[in-house]
Amino acid sequence: MNQPKMPQPNMPQLSMPELNTPRPKMQRPNAHPPKMPQPKMPQPKMPQPKMPQPKMPQPKMPQPEMQQRNGHHWKSSAACVLALAGALFFTHAAAATLAERWTTLRTEQPKLGIRDAARTLGVSEAELLATGIGTTATRLADTGHAPREIMRRALDLGKVLGLTRNENGVIEVTGVASRLPEAKQGDDGARDAEKEARELNIAGGYLGGPIDLRFHFAHWKHAFAVVQPGKDGTVSRSLQFFDAYGTAVHKVYLKDDTKVAVFDKLVADFRHPAQDGRLAVLAAPLKAADKPDASVDVKEFRQAWQEMTDVHQFNRIVAEFKLSREQALRLAPAGAARKVTPQAVRQLLEGASAKGIAIMAFLGNPGVTQIYSGKVGKVQEAGGYFNVLDPDFNLHLRDKAFRAGYVLQRAGVTSVEFYDDGGDLVVTFFGVRERGKPQPPAWIELASGLPKG
């Protein structure tokens, strides 16, 4: 029992440590016994048999748990690394996937516009447009006063098509934005006046010409130059602006082929340093609910309405009483806001076309309001919209989404407004009149004859 050979049955378990010793010495059958270090070789390592002891059943019981914990930590760390790496490449992969989905959608629905395509794909229009960076789109500067400066330079483009839209309406006007003549050399007073007027023109909008705009640059965030195949083999060049939520604010399409170099120079001068398709857009906030009518000082509000001396004072009054625009119409003085049917917009445009009545159409969004002044020609329903389709003026109204219209009397001026199902203003109409002169009787008659809602 005390023989040293008793441990020998355990020798096979040393097969793993034996791999660390030279095989020839351990397994050579013809080795001389005196040279065999067997007694000595195992002896120093005889304590080593305790090394397998962690394999004893009792230690093994906790070991799997430790391995699971360690494995969990390792997997968590690896997951963090992978997540971090994925975050760096997510946008590129997502953009590539989005581009592919859009390509498929365009194949399936070739007439689908980019705004509706974006809605179908569950992204913003700006994000969808950004998938074309490097091919059809170039991202433009968006910091500081970049949007204002781009629109200032756009005055050099000559004939353009200006396009503004909201959820249920689009207005397109083609023409040359008004530009004041240069002051004569040496006429410092005229030059200063011209400079001041030019600054005002850009600060407030494009004024006094066919491209009639009112800017609210606080809502302009992202900008792109887009060059892509157009209709009939032509090339379409445009400047497109979006708000922080990726919603289109305004678009300018070049219509003068002699100004291509001017367009290209503008794009080069305002090129954004990041052209990788990554675009951070915010989630659009929910629309705030109207304040309860009971909390409004209706008497004071109606008095303020009746004291208006200029229709432009209306927005200030609405803001002062913290009302939504349509709520203000509901609380208006008697006879100041007559409700009409949503489809009365068709009767208005058809009547203006048939009778040759010049109108003003205002259509906008938080970032810009675009205005058309003039007569209306061809009107028809097409593509889910009721449209004006004239050479230099197009108006597209999704009137089936309208909730109500109102004929308003403010500061002696008659106007007609239409609101959609969400309570948002879609379009406003006035009769064209010269400053200081009464409204055309034909316009008053047209507005007064609209069917009661």
How is residue 200 written in tokens? 């005002």
For residues 303 and 296, the answer to whether their CB atoms sit within 8 Å is no
Pairing, β 379-382 against β 359-365: unpaired
Tell me: the pLDDT tens digits for 134-146? Answer: 999 999 999 999 9
The answer to whether the 99-182+192-270 and 293-376+399-449 domains have the same CATH topology is: yes
* Of 201, 243, 250, 210, the residue nearest 371 (C-alpha): 210
> What architecture is the 99-182+192-270 domain classified under in CATH?
3-Layer(aba) Sandwich (3.40)
Residue 296 has pLDDT above 80, yes or no: yes
Q: Are 431 and 443 in contact (CB under 8 A)?
A: yes
Give the pLDDT of residue 241: 99
What would the pLDDT profile of 308-364 be if each residue is shown by its tens digit? Answer: 999 999 999 999 999 999 999 999 999 999 999 999 999 999 999 999 999 999 999
How many CA atoms does the CB half-sphere of 264 hold within 13 Å?
5
The CATH architecture one would assign to domain 293-376+399-449 is 3-Layer(aba) Sandwich (3.40)
12: its two tokens: 């096979």
DSSP β-bridge partners for residue 339: 406
Going across the sheet that includes 359-365, the strands are 212-215, 368-374, 359-365, 425-431, 413-420, 402-410, 337-340
The alpha carbon dihedral of 103, 104, 105, 108 has a sign of positive
Confidence band, pLDDT 50/70/90 cuts, at residue 183: very low
Predicted local confidence at residue 436, as pLDDT: 78
- CA distances to 21, 129, 139, 143, 145 from 242, rounded to whole Å, are 74, 11, 11, 13, 15
pTM of this structure: 0.76
Question: How is the chain split into domains, by residue range?
Answer: 99-182+192-270, 293-376+399-449
Distance CA 341, CA 206 (A): 33
pLDDT confidence bin for 446, thresholds 50/70/90: very high
Would you give the distance in Å from CA 408 to the centre of its chain? 33
Structure tokens at 387: 């449209």
